[in-house]
């Protein structure tokens, strides 16, 4: 099997490539990444494997896609602008990568390689805030910020290509991931790194916003199951049922690092900040036999250890801008 992974120098993409090489060493992988914010070449520099090839490139570049896609059986699209706060400051890169990029992949498959399977990595954020209950695959989208709107738009374009051109497409939607190699701008690494540096830990609003956390390795396992056994035209929600408010999560990290709760600093909330995300993942559990293997507290503690042991990975990335307490704020008119 030959696969094209896009965005494989980012957090989940790099973990997915390492997961595949370890568990399915026979699969040949081409990784295309534009090396924009979120990527880190160090994520895979240690990877020397005859079945892995890296190409620097953009998923909006149809010429490049036309060369690569006919060579592979499947495309798995992780490539995206992924930070909500940055989408509030400047949504254009999000619309380009997350919508035009997906369109470019779909159209290349339609015109050049109809047998190639396409797996889109989407997000729970497309459903918007769920004050109670959990979103099912068929629920209506209610995105609240330019990032989630761009991911929801991509899904609608995918649905149109599925119905109009009869392509082989699947979608996964996952809740918040955590684990090694996540960019310092995201909540968990930012909290760990600021805490290591004895800096105040910013909490948006009341800190009561709830997210459902999944260890990245469990997400990679779920994606692999969908890739190998998922059904054409279907979407699969992926969640670990670890619902936690931001304030409880931050307190757990501080406790783990022996830091006082006095470091917590409540800051002005982000506009359009969804209160609660929750997915019903019974479909993937029943149909594909997936369930998370990792326990939340243990994997959180391992993630903290990873950041403690890999300062050289984040030292140059942990700039003032990346660790800003309110990165969206400076862009407000
Ligand atoms: N991180 C999460 O908690 C989470 C949860 C659910 C879904 N997702 C989805 O998973 C995917 C990966 O997320 P992540 O957290 O690893 O993001 P990330 O920002 O760490 O990595 C994204 C990668 O995509 C690359 N990229 C961006 N635009 C590109 C383009 N136009 N062409 C080629 N490469 C491009 C970047 O260089 C980067 O390496 C995204 O599609 C995201 O929407 C993430």
| Percent over 90 (pLDDT), the chain | 92
pLDDT in tens, 207-247: 999 999 999 999 999 999 999 999 999 999 999 999 999 99
pLDDT in tens, 75-109: 999 999 999 999 999 999 999 999 999 999 999 99
What is the model's pTM? 0.97
pLDDT in tens, 164-196: 999 999 999 999 999 999 999 999 999 999 999
Does the annotation count 125 as an active-site position?
yes
pLDDT of 36: 96
User: Does the beta carbon of 106 lie inside 6 Å of ligand 1?
Assistant: no
Strands (E), 27-116: 28-33, 52-56, 74-77
User: Does the beta carbon of 178 lie inside 6 Å of ligand 1?
Assistant: no
Q: What are the residues whose beta carbons fall under 8 Å from the beta carbon of 247, sequence distance 6 or more?
A: 203, 206, 207, 208, 264
> Predicted confidence band at 329 (pLDDT cuts at 50, 70, 90)?
confident
CB 105 within 8 A of CB 69: yes
- Please state the rounded mean pLDDT for residues 27-55: 93
Angle between helices 296-309 and 246-256 (to 10 degrees): 60
Does the annotation count 307 as an active-site position?
no
Q: Would the pLDDT of 331 be above 60? A: no
Dihedral angle at the C-alpha atoms of 93, 141, 130, 287, nearest 10 degrees? -110
CB atoms within 10 A of CB 210: 18
Of 33, 124, 212, 274, the active-site residue reads: 124
User: Does the beta carbon of 237 lie inside 6 Å of ligand 1?
Assistant: no
pLDDT of 328: 80
Does the annotation count 316 as an active-site position?
no
């Amino acid at each position: 099997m030959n696969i094209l992974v896009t965005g494989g120098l980012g957090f989940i993409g790099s973990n997915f490539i390492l997961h595949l090489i370890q568990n399915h060493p026979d699969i040949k992988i081409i990784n295309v990444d534009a090396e924009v914010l979120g990527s880190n070449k160090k994520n895979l520099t240690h990877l020397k494997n005859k079945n892995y090839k890296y190409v620097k490139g953009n998923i909006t570049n149809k010429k490049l896609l036309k060369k690569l896609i006919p060579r592979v059986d499947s495309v798995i699209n992780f490539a995206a602008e992924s930070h909500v706060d940055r989408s509030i400051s400047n949504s254009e890169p999000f619309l380009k990568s997350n919508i035009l990029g997906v369109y470019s992949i779909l159209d290349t498959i339609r015109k050049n390689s109809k047998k190639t399977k396409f797996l889109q990595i989407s997000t729970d954020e497309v459903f918007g805030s769920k004050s109670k209950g959990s979103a099912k695959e068929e629920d209506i989208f209610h995105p609240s910020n330019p990032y989630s709107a761009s991911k929801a738009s991509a899904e609608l374009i995918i649905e149109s290509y599925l119905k109009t051109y009869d392509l082989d497409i699947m979608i996964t939607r996952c809740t918040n991931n955590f684990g090694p190699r996540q960019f310092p701008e995201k909540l968990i690494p930012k909290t760990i790194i600021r805490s290591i540096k004895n800096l105040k830990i910013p909490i948006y609003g009341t800190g009561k916003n709830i997210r459902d956390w999944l260890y990245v390795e469990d997400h990679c396992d779920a994606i692999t199951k969908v890739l190998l056994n998922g059904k054409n035209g279907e979407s699969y929600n992926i969640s670990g049922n670890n619902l936690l408010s931001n304030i409880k999560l931050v307190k757990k990290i501080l406790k783990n690092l022996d830091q006082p709760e006095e470091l917590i600093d409540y800051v002005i909330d982000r506009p359009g900040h969804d209160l609660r995300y929750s997915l019903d993942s019974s479909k993937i559990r029943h149909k594909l036999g997936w369930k998370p293997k990792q326990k939340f507290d243990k994997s959180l503690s391992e993630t903290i250890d990873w950041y403690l042991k890999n300062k050289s990975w984040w030292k140059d990335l942990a700039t003032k801008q990346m660790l800003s307490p309110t990165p969206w704020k400076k862009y407000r008119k």
